[in-house]
Amino acid sequence: MTTVSEPSGEPSEGVSSTNTNTKNYIVGLGLLLVVVLLWTGSSFLTQDMYDDGYQKPFLITYTNTASFVFYLLPYIARRLWADRWGPPKSARSNIIYQPLEQELDVDTEPAVMRLPNTLAHDSSDSFQVEPYPVNQVDRPLTMEETAKMALGFCFLWFIANWALNAALAYTSVASSTVLSGMSGMFTLAVGRIFRVETLTVVKIGAVLTAFIGVILVAVSDGSPNDQPDAMGSSIFYKAAHSLPVLGDFLALMSAVFYALYVVFLKVQIREESRIDMQLFFGFVGLFNIFLSWPMGVILHLVGMERFEIPRTHNAIVIIVLNMFITLSSDYLYVVAMLKTTPLVVTVGLGLTIPVAVIGDFFLGKPAATQVLAGALLVLIAFIVVGIENSKPRERGDLLTEDFVDDAHAPQSRVHLEHEDSPQSPNEG
């Protein structure tokens, strides 16, 4: 199997594809920086609410995720507008997307395109035109597929965020920060398993550098008395404090589920153009509202988190603000991940540390030298990972030289048949 080379006068499709990928990558990094600023602000707000004594990890996670349902409003509005003023439904399906008739084993064959009929040769020629397009990998997702993906993502996302919030309430901030900081390692490992990340010495070094930076910050902030205020007086809560490893387990579980959901999205979606992100997040919010509340009932019955309506104006304002922050930041976060890689956004979220240092400085709380060193290591790690992932994957990773998931490399467009060696289309 070989490919037909581009005519000499035509612009190279590989160059165009590379330029597009580079632009998307830069846009993704910009969106990630916006997410870092939003999440840092949310952290300051949440910490202020916790200091006031209102510590409800489940309720905060539930309300934040439920806010995604507002993304269904623009989708419903578009459908209503299309039904009233748009083309007939019979024609609309063809305009939006026409499913392909052929099933393709995407694990063995790359995407191919059809040659124009003017290039078709007779049966004696050395190649023949594909009968129809079979680019099944990049086809848009249907509403049903989007809903199924949102259902799986909803549970992974909710567990990851709730576990982290609960860990902050049941263990020291230092322990929770260090263990949740291991998400970079898990993301690199899980991403390599699913072939969306290459395993290189540079990436391993960058992840370890970021982790060391997190440790420096956590150890500097930690203290022997760095334990959260009580959330309740139940037997379950007392047992949790008599066994602090439970809080550490929640922080570690958060890191694992974070890696799982970020790689899950990259594997399932691959390209941002394949999915309606508003519809996706709208389904996530809808599923969260109807499927996650039993967990809150269980936590209430065992006394781990008593359901209480916020009584202070400050707590209500912070909950509402966090809902709006989550509504925008998580949407931008997923788009940034699709435009870059799971590892880039994972390490990039560590930039909340240097941003928080800057925020503390303006609040009159200058950071210690150890914290500044840790923040600098995280920043260096992010820059290194960003540069490493922006390079075309010309070589394989540490485990194999045959790494197939290369978003930067142009794919073959035409299949030639009955040939063992490359041959020009003009040769007889």
Angstrom distance (rounded) from CA 208 to CA 214 = 10
- Provide the 10 A C-beta neighbour count for residue 417: 11
The tens digit of pLDDT for each residue in 11-43 reads: 555 555 666 778 888 898 999 999 988 888 887
Residue 211: which of 382, 63, 407, 420 has the closest Cα? 382
pLDDT of residue 355: 82
Average pLDDT, the chain: 74
The tens digit of pLDDT for each residue in 174-221 reads: 666 677 778 888 999 999 898 888 888 999 999 999 889 888 887 776
Q: Is the pLDDT confidence value at 378 over 60?
A: yes
For 119, phi then psi, to 5°, come to -95, 0
| Contact of 33 with 347, CB cutoff 8 Å | no
Q: Is the pLDDT confidence value at 78 over 70?
A: yes
Angstrom distance (rounded) from CA 425 to CA 414 = 12
- Provide the 10 A C-beta neighbour count for residue 53: 12
The CA–CA distances, whole Å, from 405 to 110, 204, 208, 275, 397 equal 11, 19, 24, 19, 11
pLDDT of residue 357: 80
Confidence of residue 121 (pLDDT cuts 50, 70, 90): very low
- Average pLDDT estimate for 52-76: 89
- CA 369 to chain centroid: 32
The DSSP secondary structure of 31-49, one letter per residue, reads HHHHHHHHHHHHHHHHHHH
* pTM for this predicted structure: 0.72
